Amino acid sequence: QVQLVESGGTSVQAGGSLRLSCVGSGYTFSTRYMGWFRQAPGKRREGVAAISTRGLSTNYADSVKGRFTISRDNAKNTVYLQMNSLKPEDTATYYCAASRTFGALARDETSFDNWGQGTQVTVSS
């Protein structure tokens, strides 16, 4: 069965950096588009970034452009989210997700079939 396991979330001060990782198993990782989403308490889930199967195309939310970078290593079945210049408003639970469809690049959560359990990122001012 498909499993996605995130790691790397922790507490950090504003201006700091974190790298989240998500390891996929139970499927052929390189055939899936991958995405990172986040949800803060009381807010809707937001698509942060998405990446194509070979990593040639990416898409970012305006709120993170220039600060976050999504990447993947298909040999390690892992997708990453490098987060720099973190702000308190980046505080949320971050989820990775896998999709079979090109529509995933639009960061539309309905395009994603499988989800991880989430990892908490807290940014203090």
**78-122 pLDDT tens trace:** 999 999 999 999 999 999 999 999 888 889 999 999 999 999 999
Q: What is the mean pLDDT of residues 29-48?
A: 96
Q: For residue range 45-77, what is the model confidence (pLDDT) as tens digits? A: 999 999 999 999 999 999 999 999 999 999 999
Q: Which long-range contacts (CB under 8 A, 24 or more apart) does 42-47 make?
A: 43/92, 45/95, 45/109, 46/92, 47/106, 47/107, 47/108, 47/109
Amino acid 38: pLDDT: 98
Q: What is the spatial distance between Cα 36 and Cα 109, in angstroms, rounded to a whole number?
A: 10
